[in-house]
Amino acid sequence: MLVADVLSLSYEYLPPHLKQCFLYFAHYPEDYEVHVGTLVSDWIAEGMVMPVKHTEAGTTGEDVGQDYLEELVKRSMVMVGTPNLKLMILL
């Protein structure tokens, strides 16, 4: 099984809000490192991340975006590239 096949299968099981965030990585070349803050800000600017009503009071878009990103990392869709909060894209 190729990496693309595994990613495709994993993608199919993502919730809709994570699918659009994952697809955003297509903006970057393979193995490109992007700062987490920049990525989350871009997601917010594109309207992909918004605080939802059922979250705790004081939850920001940045908090929600970080949660989305952590979920993608937990699902092995992206990986942390360096300890200084950058990501290496697995595409």
- Comparing CA positions, the residue from 83, 77, 75 lying closest to residue 26 is 77
pTM value surpassing 0.75: yes
Question: pLDDT of 30-61, one tens digit each?
Answer: 878 888 889 999 999 999 997 765 566 778 88
Question: pLDDT of 61-84, one tens digit each?
Answer: 888 999 999 999 898 888 777 655
- How crowded is residue 88: how many other Cβ atoms within 10 Å of its Cβ? 15
User: Which residues touch 60 (CB under 8 Å, ≥6 apart)?
Assistant: 51
SS3 for 6? helix
